[in-house]
Structure 1
Amino acid sequence: MLQWFKALHLIFMVAWFAGIFYLPRLFVYHAESVEPKVHAQLAIMERRLLYFVTPFAVLTFVFGFAMLWLYGLEWLKQSGWMHIKLVLVIALAGYHIFCFKLVARLKANPQAHTGRWFRFFNEVPVLALFAIIILAVLKPSFG
């Protein structure tokens, strides 16, 4: 059962990240365009992409927490690396939720942020993913 949960967790995580890597790229195009027709098309694409990947985010959490439940509380207490991973994952959930606000903001005001701001915003999930993968694979001991 644990291996199935792990496989499903990874599958949905990859699908989720594909979306949250591409969505801010659409935001860059949106912020840098001056064409109202382009803004309208990008607003549709952004909304559809965000709603498409949100179930993947939810399922990533479902199978991740299912694995935590199977491992048990004692294992969790002793796994300091997992505490850091969970903080990063919660931050990514906040990032994902913030994307809903950005989609609405860009629809109302295409120049809500600069293209440069969105380029930096796009790096957040990349850095989080690097840290999460390193923690999950190396399982460093803290203490």
Structure 2
Amino acid sequence: MATGCLYCDRNETQKDLMIEICDLSVSTVFLFKEQTYYGRCIVAYKDHNVELYELNDEDLLAYMKDTNKVAAAMKKLFNPEKINYGAYSDKLKHLHMHLVPKYVDGTDFGGVFVMNPQQKYLSDTEYSEMVDKIKKELGK
């Protein structure tokens, strides 16, 4: 655990950006509050690692399986044309992956997604319904 890390500290800044959905085998799944890309989630590794190559083979496989499980749930629930995967961590040094659903004729389809367009937010009820659906699909 690293002090000052958004994912390790679970601070107010994190809570302003995302909603915790559940824990999987080696990760925690979050719903990104900004929903320009409807269904967007983040899969954050459980420990404070920065790079995929820092993981041993077993944990790397488990993390990728967690990520894959979330992507499959997103496809089933939201039916995007494609899911984009982003793992940047330039400024936020904690291993996490953005899973960004892209829809034909939707925002940035055919191009790179915007990290935080700050254009579309949902009601508490809508967030709650999405979280419940994702949890159920993930078997949580």
Common fold by TM > 0.5:
no
Q: Of Structure 1 and Structure 2, which has the larger fraction of its residues in strand?
A: 2
Greater CA radius of gyration, 1 or 2?
1
Higher helix share: 1
Pick 1 or 2: higher relative contact order, CA cutoff 8 A, min separation 6: 1
